Structure 1
Amino acid sequence: MRGDKIYGLGATDCKGNLASAMEAIHSLVEEGVELDYSLVLAATADEESGSSLGLIPLLERSILKVDAAVVLDADDFEIVITQKGLMHLKVSIKGKKAHGAYPWLGVNAIDMAARIIVDLKDQKTNYTKNGYLREPTLNVGTIKGGDKVNVVSDWCEFELDFRFLPGTSHARILRNLKRTISRYTHNFKIDIQGIQDPYYISPKHPLVKNLVSAMHSAGVKSAISGSEGATVITFFKARNIPAVATGFGNEGSAHVADEYARISNLYKGAKALAKFLQDYKFSSTG
């Protein structure tokens, strides 16, 4: 610790949030507060890698059975009501080998991949605008291919990261990808690595309204926002469980050297969370 900062890997994402949650629950127990509902604290693993070893099996096997969820995976007390969907995939292109001195005798898979990527990047996407999120994005994360500098490459693989808005389906993106690749080659394969649907919950939903009220009571200025990245709220959506995300970390500190969280924010977060848990009524959801 140094001053108001506590340093360490995961301090902001998301050990600090977990500490605040534990402190909030501990304070309610100490004060003898009885909630109108059963409270579950789930400290799940594997969120950074898709949650296949964390939240997903807990929900699929009905080990975790809840009627609403607050996900602590955000910074600076923001209240996340919407987020982009994501689709990660790998495209494999096959060509034909030839001597590098006679490229016309082969089919260069790297050349085809390059043209496909440029085509995808140049496309204008139709989408429904969202006041909390930026436009859809496509990132080429990795690319590799070929065996030797003087050989026409007969293979190339590249990985794509699509981020898309509520109102757009991953199926539509996949259809367009296949159509685009087919303009250059029919000898290709697509391997889906991960899909998360986009998410939206109304700012008028009791989860959101009660969080805003609790933050205000704790002397915290919070903002309703959207998330460009993915949190686990979409896995609750798949089971028709309303969810919202918030958190008390420090923006820009996650996944970097000297990651830190502000101790004062973790304290305020615990205070706000305790207030929210104490005041929330499921009857208010209708």
Structure 2
Amino acid sequence: MLFEKLSCLLVFGSSVSAFVLNRPAYQSVLDDHQLIKHSANTDFDTLFETKFPEFYSKYHLNHNLSSIFNLHKTLVDIPSLSTHEQAVTHYVVRFLQKRGLTVETSKLPNSTRENIYAYYNDGVYGNNSHRKILLTSHLDTVPPYLGYNLDESTGVITGRGANDAKASLVVQIYSVLELIEEGKLDPLEFAFLFVVGEEIDGDGMKHAMETFKLDNGELKYSWDVAIFGEPTENKLGKGHKGNYMFDLAINGKPAHSGYPQLGVSANEILVSVLNQLMVNSHKYPSSDILGETTFNIGTMQGGIALNVIPADAHARLFFRVANDLNKLHWIVTEIIDNANANWAMRYPGFTSPFIEVHNLSSKEPQFLDYEVPGFESIVLAFATDIPDFTIPVKRRYLYGPGSIFSAHSDHEFVTIDELIECLEGYKKLVVFNLENL
């Protein structure tokens, strides 16, 4: 095999060191705990053998359980709320460098926040641009920070990021290390991309796509297959819904509430247009795969006092789009335009628009690859970085341990079985794609 014989130069910052790509070197990285500093190492092998003997008996011969679960424990213990991912980024960089990967970091504009792109380098100029498999997930979490805890009676691990998405990051890393050690993956066939900001506006993935495109229009990096790590219950996502969100600003006219004919109630207009959006929801586009388009009235505000006709009102709306974003936009625009026209007929002397739309943003629904022997599939309504991943690939998968039903909650969790089952699933998914490109 190429990786059993190849010597290369790896560049870490400004230093250059020789590194031989051989099996003993890869084996050594699978059981090296010395890098874990943020939280004390746990002897998970002894713990699992004592508390979860069936789990230990099933998995300990094929996986370095202490290494895997100590990495997960450390990552969960490091706070990495969106826009404050620096500490976990630095830790992951050192972890990957320790294992011989070339690690490139890219700072977002006007920020100290960094994305990570990592791969094994063969030292040949121009031969690092293409990899067959890209494994990607995100480094950030939603607030608030919740520390790591393993329930030794149930095998349930809780903490912020326990499943979304630090569990995915761990199984992506160790699935690759194990496949290389087993001789089933050439080190030059894969790359990692770990981004910041997924939980807010996807600024990390957007920045990655910009930096991967050269000024002449060529791509700095490319791949055949991209696998995105998110909590999908160890099932392959058939796809996920898109986003369509905006703010409604309602203009009225204040007056004494005893004389409503002298004013225009912004609250009444808001309630009316929201009702029209609800009663017409059967017109919103749907799909056989992703189901119905739904929407949520996230916030509503209006009025200043009980005895004052409200002069303004506001609402924020979020549509989860199952299909045909353009059609949804046309339907919503028509509803709002008709509402404005009706209110203008009722108050012909009112010059301002009654209903205004601000801060409109949208992302297309995503339809993904999911037909792989031995895998179940699932339809997902949550959002991911996938719409911002704009470099073409042959196949896109969404896969990871844990459930979105606990992600972002105060009881976010993943079980020890789910984590290892997903690691094995990642290995099968990578091998399937290598064999079927």
TM-score by length of 1: 0.83
Equivalent position of 1:42 in the other structure:
193
Root mean square deviation of aligned Cα: 2.5
Kindly indicate whether residue 248 of structure 2 is the aligned counterpart of residue 248 of structure 1: no
1:263 is the counterpart of 2:416: yes
Match of residue 229, structure 1, among 365, 369, 382: 382
The Cα shift of 1:271 comes to 1.7
Inter-CA distance 146–259: structure 2 relative to 1 (3 Å threshold): same
SS at match of 1:190: strand
C-alpha displacement at 1:129, in angstroms?
A: 4.5
Is 2:218 aligned against 1:60? no
Aligned to 1:172: 330
**Contact persistence 2:285–2:293 (CA under 8 A):** no
Does residue 1:143 correspond to 2:300, yes or no? Answer: yes
CA distance in structure 1 between the aligned counterparts of 2:230 and 2:271, rounded to whole angstroms:
36
Equivalent residues of 1:78, 1:247 under 8 A apart: yes
Judged with a 3 Å threshold, the aligned counterparts in structure 2 of structure 1 residues 223 and 283 are, in CA distance, closer, same or farther, namely closer
**CA separation of 1:98/1:48 partners in 2, compared to 1, >3 Å: closer, same or farther?**
same
Matched, 1:197 2:364: yes
Check conservation: 1:86, 1:161, Cα contact below 8 A.
Answer: yes
Alignment of structure 1 residues 1-286 onto 2, 5 Å: 1-2=150-151, 3-35=154-186, 38-52=189-203, 54-62=204-212, 65-67=221-223, 68-126=225-283, 129-169=286-326, 170-182=328-340, 183-184=342-343, 186-201=353-368, 208-209=370-371, 212-213=372-373, 216=374, 222-236=375-389, 238-241=390-393, 242-250=395-403, 252-281=405-434, 284=437
Letter of the structure 1 residue corresponding to residue 222 of structure 2: V
Matches of 1:128 and 1:100, distance apart in 2: 41
Post-superposition shift, 1:55? 0.8
Q: Once the 2 structures are TM-superposed, how far is the Cα of residue 177 of structure 1 from its aligned partner?
A: 4.2
Rounded Cα–Cα distance in structure 1 between residues aligned with 2:236 and 2:183 = 28
- 1:161-212 CA-partner distances (Å, limit 9, x unpaired): 11222234253244234324423353332113531101223x5xxxx34xx3
Deviation by residue 1:39-73 (Cα, 9 ceiling, x = unmatched)? 22122222221212x11111133278433311111
Contact persistence 1:96–1:109 (CA under 8 A): yes
Q: Distance in 2 between matches of 1:96 and 1:128?
A: 36
* Bigger mean CA offset, 101-110 vs 169-178: 169-178
Q: Which structure carries more relative contact order (alpha carbon 8 Å, separation 6+)?
A: 1
Partner of 1:184, secondary structure, is helix
CA distance in 1, matches of 2:181, 2:411: 34
1:45/1:272 Cα in 2 relative to 1: closer, same or farther (>3 Å)?
A: same
- 1:110 is paired with a residue whose SS is helix
- Superposed CA deviations along residues 241-283 of structure 1, whole A, max 9, x for unmatched, are 4422111113522122222101111111112212322442387
Q: 1:235 to 1:173 in 2, by over 3 A?
A: farther
Q: Give the superposition deviation at 1:239.
A: 4.4
Q: Deviations over 1:205-240 (max 9, x none)?
A: xxx34xx33xx3xxxxx322221222222223x544
Contact 1:96 1:152 in 2 (8 A): yes
1:120/1:180 contact within 8 Å kept: no
Residues of 2 paired with 1:192 and 1:174: CA distance? 15
For 1:114 and 1:163, how far apart are their aligned partners in 2? 21
Partner of 2:419, secondary structure, is helix
Question: Which sections of structure 1, spanning at least 5 residues, go unmatched?
Answer: 217-221
Secondary structure of 2:290's aligned partner: coil
Q: How many pairs does the alignment contain?
A: 268
Superposition TM-score, scaled by structure 2 size:
0.56
Q: Is the 8 A contact 1:50 1:194 kept in 2?
A: no
Structure 2 residue runs without a partner (length 5+): 1-149, 214-219, 345-352
For 2:321 and 2:195, the matched residues in 1 are separated by: 25
User: What is the distance in 2 between the residues matched to 1:98 and 1:19?
Assistant: 60
The DSSP-based 3-state class of the residue aligned with 1:141 is strand
User: How far apart in 1 are the matches of 2:186 and 2:332?
Assistant: 46
Answer yes or no: is the 8 Å Cα contact 1:80–1:244 preserved in 2.
yes
Decide whether aligned partners of structure 1 residues 143 and 231 sit closer, same or farther in structure 2, where only a CA change above 3 A counts.
same
Task: Give the letter for the 1:235 counterpart.
Answer: D
Amino acid at match of 1:139: N
Q: Give the whole-Å Cα distance in 2 for the aligned partners of 1:4 and 1:41.
A: 29
CA contact (8 A) 2:247 2:314 kept: yes
Distance change (3 Å), C-alpha of 1:31 and 1:282: closer
Identity of aligned residues (%): 22
The answer to whether the 8 A contact 1:250-1:262 is kept is: no
How has the CA–CA distance of structure 1 residues 121 and 129 changed in structure 2, closer, same or farther, with 3 Å as cutoff?
Answer: closer
Report if the CA contact (8 A) 1:127-1:168 is conserved.
no
Given the superposition, is the C-alpha separation of residues 9 and 193 from structure 1 closer, same or farther in structure 2, using an over 3 Å criterion?
Answer: farther
